[in-house]
Amino acid sequence: MVPMCDIPIPIDGNEKIVRAVMKGSVNKSNTAVKPRIFRSRPGADEVSVIRHDYKGADFCKDHGRSRGADYVGLAVLLATQIRKVGSDVFDSRDEFCGHAHIAHGIVAATPNEPLSPLDNLKLDKKVEALGALASYYPDPDPTGEGWTGPSL
Amino acid sequence: MTYTPFANSLQPWSLINTKAAVVYWMAPTCSQALLYEYPAAMEAIRQASFPDGNWDGFGALPIAAETKQNAILAINNILCVAPLPEINPNPSGTLSFQWTTNEGTAHMEIGRTRYSFYVSPRIGDPILFEGDVNSIHQLHGGLVASLLFPPPSSAGTMTPVRYGSDV
């Protein structure tokens, strides 16, 4: 039986969208994320994010800690910011309730090989813009339980 | 004989690792490069070349040994003429060199067998290249240097000349 997910499917422009951030994905001064966190894995056009307004910061952190890499903090965007740069964000509850995907309209088709230069140019414009717009919240206690940083 | 404009036969520098010290040697063809940037570039490539997958927590591919080697060969050519780029891995298992200045942006993405490259100047159309990784040449670095790091325009020097008869 599929568990209930009683949150609306449409994502409002004012919803906070959270991406878990791993070690090596933050600038040297630890104040901003590197744009590459908004690049998709190969063969897909989907960047995994969480609908914070319905799941909360603790859930976002737990999800980040469960990913098998060195979790260090959370990056937050508004849905409207994602859409303004020409990308989309949509509910993907088949992964879990509260999960969403950012899509850029560009797929890295071949593993271990580069995008075409034109696709890279288009994708860079989007992910650089998202990287600049995202608010980065370093986790004061990345290995501990629950979010203890400022409210997102 | 076939003319191959971007033949990658140039090996402008070598890392010589002796028991006493690590020595960086640079060929005369690369004499204008910023020598001190080579060790930093090698370290950045080493750090970015994750040998295991899922380094981003979201299913990123590992950086293949061939890709790392391609990046080292590429940076050999590029650093002869262009400054050190920001070097990052991508979830698709490639490595990226990126430059950003007030004059524009450039990005070279290097894979296991192929590369792609663009320079997007602030004014004018972007310049796009792609091909076999063995065809990465100083030309790419030259485009970055000339379009994104132009030399400062020197103000014309005015030297008043006074003839003895005017004094």
* pLDDT at position B84: 93
**Beta carbons of A52 and A17 less than 8 angstroms apart:** yes
B80 residue type, one letter: C
Domain count, chain B: 1
Whether B155 is in a domain gets the answer: no
Task: Tell which residue, B38, B35, B57, has the closest CA to residue B46.
Answer: B38
pLDDT tens digit sequence for B34-55: 567 889 999 999 999 999 999 9
Rounded CA gap, B21 and B18, in Å?
Answer: 5
Instruction: Give domain status of residue B161, yes or no.
Output: no
3-state helix/strand/coil string of chain B: CCCCCCCCCCCCEEEEECCCCEEEEECHHHCCCCCCHHHHHHHHHHHHCCCCCCCCCCCCCCCCHHHHHHHHHHHHHHCCCCCCCEEEECCCCCEEEEEEECCEEEEEEECCCEEEEEEEECCCCCEEEEEEHHHCCHHHHHHHHHHHCCCCCCCCCCCCCCCHHHC
User: CA A130, CA A104: separation in Å to the nearest integer?
Assistant: 11
Average pLDDT over residues B26-38: 60
- Asked if residue B80 belongs to a domain, the reply is yes
B2 pLDDT exceeds 70?
no
Q: How far is A117 from chain B (nearest CA, A)?
A: 5
> What is the C-alpha to C-alpha distance for residues B105 and B86, in angstroms, rounded to an integer?
11
- How many CA atoms, within 13 angstroms, populate the side-chain half-sphere of residue A5? 18
Q: Which of A34, A113, A118 sits opposite B128 (nearest CB)?
A: A118
B18 has pLDDT over 90:
no
| Partner residues linked to A22 by β-bridges | A71
Tell me whether B8 touches chain A (CB under 8 Å).
no
Check: CB of residue B65 under 8 Å from CB of residue B38: no
How distant, in Å, are the alpha carbons of B47, B132, B134 from that of B114?
21, 4, 8
Domain assignment of residue B5, yes or no: no
B54 part of a folded domain: yes
Question: How close does chain B come to A130, measured CA to CA in Å?
Answer: 16
Show residues of chain A in contact with B109, CB under 8 Å: 114-115, 120
What's the rounded Cα separation, in Å, for the pair B62 and B50?
Answer: 6
CB B6 within 8 A of CB B137: yes
- Chain B residues in contact with A129 by the CB 8 A cut-off are none
Asked whether the beta carbons of B13 and B38 are under 8 A apart, the reply is yes
- Chain A positions touching B52 (Cβ under 8 A) are none
Residue B72 is assigned to a structural domain of this protein: yes
Contact in structure between B79 and B39 (CB atoms under 8 Å):
no
Residue B66 lies in a domain: yes
Q: Read out DSSP for A36-84? A: GGGSPPTT---EEEEEHHHHHHHHHHHHHHTTSS-EEEEEEEEHHHHHH
Q: Give residue limits of the domains in chain A.
A: 16-138
SS3 content of chain A, % helix, strand, coil (to 5): 25, 25, 50
Domain membership of residue B1 (yes or no) is no
Task: Quote the domain boundaries for residue B135.
Answer: 13-150
Contact B105, B86 (CB under 8 A): no
Q: What is the interface pTM, i.e. ipTM, of the complex?
A: 0.91
Q: Which of A54-68, B76-90, B152-166 has the lowest mean pLDDT?
A: B152-166
* Digitized pLDDT (tens) for each residue of chain A, 152 residues in all: 567 899 999 999 999 999 999 998 999 899 999 999 999 988 899 999 999 999 999 999 999 999 988 999 999 999 999 999 999 999 999 999 999 999 999 998 899 999 999 999 999 999 999 999 999 999 999 999 999 999 99
Distance CA B105, CA A121 (A): 9
- Closest chain B residue by Cα to residue A46: B58
Q: Across the interface, do B118 and A117 touch by the CB < 8 Å criterion?
A: yes
Residue of B nearest to A111 (CA): B92
Model confidence band, residue B138 (pLDDT cutoffs 50, 70, 90): confident
Q: Say whether B130 and A64 touch across the interface (CB within 8 A).
A: no
